[in-house]
Amino acid sequence: MNETLKIAVQKSGRLYEGSMKLLKECGIEVSNGNNQLRVQAANFPIEIFFLRDDDIPEYVQDAVADIGFVGENVVREKNKKVDQLENLGFGKCRLSLAIPKNGSLQKAEDLNGKRIATSYPVILGEYLREKNINASIHEISGSVEIAPRIGLADAICDLVSSGSTLFTNELKELEILLRSEAVLISNNNLTATKKMILESLLFRIRSVKKAKNNKYVLLNAPNDKLDIICSLLPGMRSPTILPLAETGWSSVHSVISESDFWNIIEKLKSNGAQGILIIPIEKMIL
Ligand code: PRT
Ligand code: ZN
């Protein structure tokens, strides 16, 4: 039988959708209809294992799976011997210290002698040692945010995304310990064939990510403004310029990065560009 790359993905939870969507965008067809534990992709040599996110780093370290999609927060907390190869652009959150909104605690140093509830004792322990803060860590596995209200802890260290959980529990963020998103981790002893499959998968993932970070822009410009407009549009090489039926006007096509988007659009408009169309890019191969 030909070798396949075994990939561990969260079975259900916040990373499931993003992981499956990314594989789909990479052109990998998977059916997980019957809620199977493992499934073979139809058109790419990978086999997907659906697991609890906490177990993924260990399974990848022990070569039960070859690679995995998992939150960087879990990778850091579990501290297994795996290679972290690529940020995946979803599952974004931060691991933060939070304190009661109207309590006596004001700053990190006030946590000396206090109790902090968390599911991340390793990362929190490192932080406290580094800052020379002598607080006790209470490890709990869920609903960390209620710990101060029920008198179990004075502060918490938990994942935050929108901040609404902190808000409804009358807590406020004090400090960010880690910014996290889903990452691709790999066993560090893959066979040559598995490495080749991984390279091919990484190439697809990077093409999808690049496309998401860029937009295709089409606009009309008076010919006497083409120089200035083209200088605002670096593109993949240089912009494409095509004459319009109306004399004295051209159509300009290019690619701009999401981060520059609003800034550039304003400048294009003020330099005479009209009929600007912004189109999402599906894949981008450089
Ligand atoms: O069953 P399994 O063990 O696989 O899942 P799980 O329940 O341990 O994990 P899950 O699905 O909750 O989270 C999986 C991963 O998603 C985490 O390890 C993070 O990498 C990522 N992630 C992104 C988050 C959040 N955002 C997030 N907001 N994980 C958890 N939360 C929780 C947080 O713990 C808190 O309870 O959401 C609440 C805060 O959210 P906001 O929006 O109110 O701030
Ligand atoms: Zn978990």
Q: What pLDDT, on the 0 to 100 scale, is given for residue 236?
A: 66
The two domains 5-89+181-211 and 93-180 share their CATH topology (first three levels equal): yes
276 Cα–ligand 2 center, Å: 45
Cα separation, 269 vs 280, whole angstroms: 20
Closest ligand by atom to 159 CA: 1
Closest atom, ligand 1, to C-alpha of 53: 4
- Residue 55 Cβ contacting ligand 1 at under 6 Å: no
Residue 6: predicted pLDDT: 98
Closest CA to 249 of 276, 218, 223, 217: 223
Ligand 1 atom at minimum distance from 167 CA: 43
Say what the pLDDT of residue 260 is: 85
> What DSSP string runs through 179-232?
EE-EEEEE-S---HHHHHHHHHHHHHHHHHHHHHTEEEEEEEEEGGGHHHHHHH
Which contiguous run of DSSP H or E holds residue 26? none
What is the atom index within ligand 1 of the atom nearest the CA of 158?
34
pLDDT band at 168 (very low <50, low <70, confident <90, very high): very high
Any ligand 1 atom below 6 A from CB of 169: no
Atom 29 in ligand 1: which residue has the minimum CA distance?
159
What CATH number belongs to 214-280? Answer: 3.30.70.120
pLDDT level of residue 33 (50, 70, 90 thresholds):
low
d(CA 117, ligand 2 centre) in Å: 17
Domain residue ranges of the chain, discontinuous segments joined by +: 5-89+181-211, 93-180, 214-280
Of the CATH numbers 3.40.50.300, 3.30.420.40, 3.40.190.10, 3.50.50.60, which one belongs to the domain with range 93-180?
A: 3.40.190.10
pLDDT > 70 in the chain, percent: 98
CATH fold label, 5-89+181-211: D-Maltodextrin-Binding Protein; domain 2 (3.40.190)
Is the pLDDT at 163 greater than 70? The verdict is: yes
State residue 151 phi and psi, 5-degree precision: 80, 15
11-25, 117-131, 228-242: range with lowest mean pLDDT: 228-242
Task: Please state the atom number of ligand 1 nearest to the C-alpha of residue 52.
Answer: 4
Centroid of ligand 2 to alpha carbon of 198 (angstroms): 25
How high does pLDDT run on average in the chain?
95
Average pLDDT over residues 225-232: 93
Measured between alpha carbons, how far is 49 from 217 in angstroms, rounded to an integer?
40
If residue 75 lies in a helix (H) or strand (E), which one and from where to where?
A: helix 72-78
Is the shortest distance between the CB of 180 and ligand 1 below 6 Å? yes
State the average pLDDT over residues 249-262.
Answer: 91
